[in-house]
Structure formats: C-alpha cells, structure tokens
Chains A and B, each alone.
Chain A
Amino acid sequence: MPQIFSKKANTYSRVSLFCLLALPAGAIMAGMAVTRGPAQTNVGMPLDQPVPFSHKHHVEELGIDCRYCHASVETSAKAGVPTTETCMSCHAHIWTNSPLLEPVRKSYETGVPIKWQKINKVPEFVYFDHSIHIARGINCNTCHGPIQDMHITWKGQYFFMRWCLECHREPEKYLYVNPRDPDKDPRQKAFDLYSLNKYGEDLTPIEWRNLEGSDLKFSKDQIAEGEKLVEKWGVKVKQLTDCWTCHR
C-alpha cells in the first residue's frame, strides 16, 4: 500500500501550524498598529484651520510668550484658545490688510468667535488640569510636541491613557529643576526654554529633550534628583494613579 502522505506533508503541517498561531497574532498586531497610527490618533497631522496660524512664526521668530495668548494656562484647567481681541491687539496694527486675517477681522466686527479645529482633545470623562502640570514644571512640549517648529499646528502625542500613566506612575522621571536657577519656581522654566532656544543659548540635554518633546531617556542621577523633587514638592505619587485623579 502506497504512503498516503508524501514527505512534504510534514512541512505543510508545520507551516499550517505556524500560520494558525501567526496569522491571528499578525492580525491583532496590524489592528494595534492602525489604532496607534496617525490615521486614528491624528498625531502629526496638521488640520485645516480658518486662519493658517503659525506657532513657529509667533513663538520662535517673534518670541511671544505662550501666556500672552494662552493666558489662563497657569491658573485654570484650560489653557484657552485666545479671544479674537487678543489677536487684534497686535493685528489691528500690523498685517491689517492681509487677506489671511479676514476671518479674524470679521469675527471682531460681528462678535462671533472663530471656529478653530480642535487639535488636542481628551475624552470628556477626563478632567485634565493644565495649571498643576505647569506648576510642577512639566513643559508644554512634553505633551504638545515641538510647538516652536510647527507652522500649522499638529498633535504631538496620542493621549492614550497608558501614556498619561507613564508619568503618573513614575513622576520622578519627569520632574527636574531649572538647571540655570535651581531655587527658582519650576513654573517659569518651561516658558524660558523658548526664548533660550531663540537666542541660541546652549541648552542642557534635559532641556533639549523637553524642547523637542521627544521620548525621555533617564539617567540614574536624574531619577534620583526627581525622587528628591517628588518629596520636596509633596507630589502624592500614590494618589496620582487613583481613578478619581483624572475621572470623577
């Protein structure tokens, strides 16, 4: 009686066994890649805005402080999109004839706000507060990406809960004192970064990382420093990962 299975059958069975495991795993990974990709999260995608406002021009080239427009960022939950009047406090005097600014002038005349497209949004069951993050010296760019390099603003981070927790679990990895003036209130150092960069000051590695909004890499010394700061500023690490810290 001839053999029913040829010698190749062994290989076929191995390949099909492998595929049986690998295909579902591959499908899951592909799905994960899609949900984490820019098509889903909008990270790195500039959106069409009614006015092509350039952060690069206003922050880096002109050197306007973040807080001139986002005035409530230090004191309230919302950084706030500036009112039309804020735009007009300069643009009533310069670029007064620019057609690009027509929506701004129209909004000022009619009192109807400009409808900006929202770039950074957390779900409405998340109660994010800008003021406490600024008070502890977390830089704007850590969450918003290298804003001083953006002509049309794009989203810097994907804002997954896992990403929030990276810092909330180990805040010591993200806290640092102002290397130029260790005794200074940490609040100001985030904003100083932009002007230091503008005027070509030598930035320390940690400042560079924060300015570029890149993934942070930690040295042991820095973590030790961070642990001291956690204690000094009374950061309640255990509470940081409680549900009600961000959800109510």
Chain B
Amino acid sequence: MFRRLRTIRARHWIHLVSLAGVAFAATGCHIDMWYQSKKVAQDENEFFRDGKADRLPVAGTVARGELRHDDAFFTGRVDGKLITDLPARVEVSKELLERGKERYTIFCSHCHGAAGDGKGMIAQRGLSLRRPPASFHTDRLREMPLGHFYEVISNGFGVMYQQGTRIDSGVGAEKGKMDRWAIVAYIRALQLSQYYDASGLSAEEQEKLGIPAPEQIEWKNAFTEAQKKAAGSKPEEGGH
C-alpha cells in the first residue's frame, strides 16, 4: 500500500487535497445537532391547531403510582363534605409549616398579604378590585373547615384563579411533597397567630412579639397628639 502511495504524483496530491476541501465545505457546517428533530417542553408543533407540542394526557388517564384514591387528601372532601382537620397522611411538623410558609410567600402573599390580611401588593395596587382578596382573619374563614382552603388552592374561588397547576397536589406524597396541605396548615397557623389573646402572656413574651408595654403606648399617643397640635398651629401655606 505504501508503495502505491509513493507512486501518486504531485498533481494527484493537489487533486486530493482540493477534493477534501470541497468535501469539508459541503458538509462541515450544519446545524442539525443544534436544532434536532425532536420536541421538548414548550416547543412548537404546527400539527396541532393550538401550535403546542405539549399535549395533555387523555382525560381520566392515571399515571403509574399516581392513583388519587384518598379523597380527603386529594380533594379536601369526604362524602362531599369539607374535612375540618388535616387528612391522616399529613403530619404537622415544623418542616411542614416552614414549607407552607415558603410556598405561601411564593404563591399567595402577593394578594393575601404576608400576614394573611388580604393586603398584599396586588390588592394595594389593584385600585379597582371589585372583589378584593380575602383576609384570613375573619370569623367566616377562621371557622372554615380546612378542606375549603385546599379546594380553593386547587380549583380557585370567586375571582381567584386556580393555583393547582403550580402548587404540588401531593400526588407524590410518599416523597414528602404536599405543598397544598403545607400551605393550608400555614394559613391556619397564621389565623391562630393573629387571633391570639396576647394579654395573657408574660411581659417578656409580649416584648418578643413587639407589643409595646402600656406606658409606651401612652407615651406614643401623647407624642402623636403633640405632633398633631404642632402641625395644626402652623400657618397654612398657600394651596396650589
């Protein structure tokens, strides 16, 4: 073979090299690896009328291991009645409440407020809201069965859209995911915390809560009164 190579003359070499160059130019630059003929999440597919490559499973499909057989856990209702306590599978723990707080802050606090008073940032900005977001600190919601909150997260309520597509339903609850119930538990914790009679606590505990001592309140009131007087006695400047 080498003997044969030696017999190739110089001009043959030129031909070979230029042929390789042409071959490289013809094939060297293609993008079929960058844009592959596959569909991934949120891709386009003109085959379907809505242009989406993502398709939903046929209604009624149950994925392996995701049978929702526990009514209380997956709907918040047993025999059509809202459950008043957390489902048996949900264990209240510090971790659950912390998870609930985190998820509540992400998904709920914009409207319902960090303290659950319905004065979130959207509520403050939505000047024309005909139905403002609910405060959790009303008698109606304080007495509401817990299943109600689960149902509202899952399906929406009134003008509130469902949040279920983004908050874990607890289908993989064995793996410790139960974000909706974590939020429900946290809402109840918020309600308890805001409706607690703090007067029974010791002065130290009250201080921790940021409740000013009585003499401080008196002093503060006197201060604001004095300020009001000072403001009132000022000569009014010309209005525009």
**Chain A interface (Cβ < 8 Å from any Cβ of B):** 62-65, 67-68, 71, 77-78, 80-81, 83, 85-86, 88-90, 92-94, 110-113, 115, 123-125, 188
Q: Range of interface residues on chain B?
A: 20 to 34
Which of chain B's residues have a CB closer than 8 A to the CB of A92? 159, 161
| Contacting pair B36 A78 (CB below 8 A) | no
| Contacting pair A78 B41 (CB below 8 A) | yes
Q: Which of B10-18, B57-65, B105-113 contacts A (4 or more CB under 8 A)?
A: B105-113
Interface residues of B: mostly helix, strand, loop or mixed?
loop
Which of chain B's residues have a CB closer than 8 A to the CB of A64? 110, 121
B21 at the interface (CB under 8 A from A): no
CA distance A94 to B132 in the complex (A): 11
Interface residues of A: mostly helix, strand, loop or mixed?
loop
Given B38, B42, B121, B161, which contacts A80 in the complex, CB threshold below 8 Å?
Answer: B42
| Contacting pair A125 B106 (CB below 8 A) | no
B135 at the interface (CB under 8 A from A): no
Known: A80-B41, A112-B50. Is A93-B159 also a contact (CB below 8 A)? yes
| Contacting pair B34 A124 (CB below 8 A) | yes
Which of chain B's residues have a CB closer than 8 A to the CB of A77? 41
| Contacting pair B126 A93 (CB below 8 A) | yes
Given A63, A71, A113, A188, which contacts B52 in the complex, CB threshold below 8 Å?
Answer: A113
| Contacting pair A90 B129 (CB below 8 A) | no
Return B108 CB to nearest CB of chain A, in Å.
Answer: 10
Which of chain A's residues have a CB closer than 8 A to the CB of B33? 123-125
| Contacting pair A111 B50 (CB below 8 A) | yes
**Chain B interface (Cβ < 8 Å from any Cβ of A):** 33-36, 38, 40-42, 44, 50-52, 102, 105-107, 110-111, 121-122, 125-126, 128-129, 159-161, 163, 165-167
Known: A78-B42, A81-B42. Is A124-B122 also a contact (CB below 8 A)? no
Given B38, B110, B163, B167, which contacts A62 in the complex, CB threshold below 8 Å?
Answer: B110
Which residue of A has the minimal Cβ distance to B131?
Answer: A93
| Contacting pair B42 A125 (CB below 8 A) | no
Return A94 CB to nearest CB of chain B, in Å.
Answer: 4
Return B176 CB to nearest CB of chain A, in Å.
Answer: 13
For A77, A88, A123, A188, the residue with the greatest tally of chain B CB atoms inside 10 Å of its CB is A123
CA distance A88 to B126 in the complex (A): 13
| Contacting pair A83 B165 (CB below 8 A) | yes
| Contacting pair A125 B129 (CB below 8 A) | no
Which of chain A's residues have a CB closer than 8 A to the CB of B129? 93-94
Which residue of A has the minimal Cβ distance to B163?
Answer: A89
Which of chain B's residues have a CB closer than 8 A to the CB of A188? 102
Which residue of A has the minimal Cβ distance to B161?
Answer: A89
Given A80, A90, A112, which contacts B110 in the complex, CB threshold below 8 Å?
Answer: A90
Which of chain A's residues have a CB closer than 8 A to the CB of B34? 123-125
> Shortest 3 CB-CB distances between A and B: which pairs?
A71-B166, A89-B161, A94-B126
| Contacting pair A62 B50 (CB below 8 A) | no
Return B50 CB to nearest CB of chain A, in Å.
Answer: 5
Known: A78-B42, A80-B42, A88-B161. Is A65-B50 also a contact (CB below 8 A)? no
